[in-house]
């Protein structure tokens, strides 16, 4: 049986990131448990498992792609329903399909898109922020915009950055073939500092120079606002199962309702103090 690829969505608030690690519950742990319980695999290691990338602790995804090898027939709706039944409500497999033997969800991706949502707590110079975003587009060394990893080249190519004013928040969309650790969240910090006047465009230009190290360095924005929204491949598309999508939307709606109630209560408390 050829391998299958799955598209996974999750709210990462309760997890220590996507990738398995000692000492904490991760999305990957929950996925393996459900796949074992349904008889799909014995373990991720034995199943030739790979994924499109890791996401930070507390961040989210609607398009994490994973590959596994299994002896089952082509994945269908009943298997998907059974798998999602065994997953926590904040994780769902949105769809699955058979893929070529050579498919690698990490190396074969031609585009990844992260979206970051940031509360707008003070006036910002959006024109300067967008000029700064234009400076970052293209191929550069992003050593000042990421957390250093030994042996990993800091050069990346950003295809596009957009900043949308949603009223109470800003939406940043950043597209590239691949990203460095904490790169998106540090880029958002730099753009926000441009908007407040704390950082200038000339400094951003210098931060892209390979031999320049900014002091102090950029602190990453909190992970809670980060969502992996797209991963694209030249020849592989995973359709979304309607029932799985409905299940996840129901969960998201309940979380939004709860969060809005909490937000309003905290606002009222602030006003009364």
- List the catalytic residues: 56
Query: Is 171 exposed, middle or buried (CB count within 10 Å of its CB: 0-12, 13-18, 19+)?
Result: middle
Show the beta-strand stretches assigned E in 11-130. Answer: 50-51, 60-68, 91-98, 111-119
Phi-psi region of 135 (alpha: psi -120 to 50; beta: other; left: phi over 0): alpha
Contact 89, 244 (CB under 8 A): no
Contact 96, 80 (CB under 8 A): yes
d(CA 163, CA 59): 19
d(CA 132, CA 265): 37
Q: What is the DSSP string of 131-162?
A: HHHHHHSEEEE-GGGS---TT---EEEEEEEE
**Three-state secondary-structure class, residue 116:** strand
Please, what is the end-to-end C-alpha distance for the chain in angstroms? 64
């Amino acid at each position: 049986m050829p391998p299958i690829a799955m598209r996974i969505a999750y709210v990462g608030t309760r997890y220590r990131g996507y990738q398995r690690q000692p000492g904490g519950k991760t999305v990957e742990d929950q996925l393996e448990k459900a796949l074992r319980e349904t008889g799909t695999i014995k373990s991720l290691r034995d199943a030739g498992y790979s994924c499109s990338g890791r996401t930070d602790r507390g961040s989210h995804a609607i398009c994490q792609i994973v590959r596994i090898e299994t002896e089952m027939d082509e994945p269908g709706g009943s298997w998907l329903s059974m798998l999602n039944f065994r997953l926590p409500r904040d994780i769902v497999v949105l769809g699955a399909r058979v893929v070529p033997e050579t498919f690698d969800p990490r190396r074969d991706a031609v585009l990844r898109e992260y979206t970051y949502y940031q509360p707008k707590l003070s006036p910002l110079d959006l024109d300067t922020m967008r000029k700064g975003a234009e400076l970052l587009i293209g191929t550069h060394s992003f050593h000042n915009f990421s957390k250093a990893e030994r042996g990993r080249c800091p050069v990346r190519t950003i295809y596009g950055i957009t900043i949308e004013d949603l009223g109470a928040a800003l939406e940043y969309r950043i597209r590239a073939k691949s990203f460095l650790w904490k790169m998106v969240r540090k880029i958002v910090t730099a753009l926000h500092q441009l908007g407040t006047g704390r950082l200038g465009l000339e400094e951003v230009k210098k931060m892209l120079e390979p031999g320049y190290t900014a002091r102090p360095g950029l602190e990453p924005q909190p992970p809670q606002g980060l969502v992996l929204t797209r991963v694209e491949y030249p020849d592989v598309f995973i359709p979304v199962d309607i029932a799985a999508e409905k299940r996840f939307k129901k969960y998201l709606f309940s979380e939004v309702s709860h969060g809005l109630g909490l937000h309003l209560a905290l606002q009222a408390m602030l006003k009364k103090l």
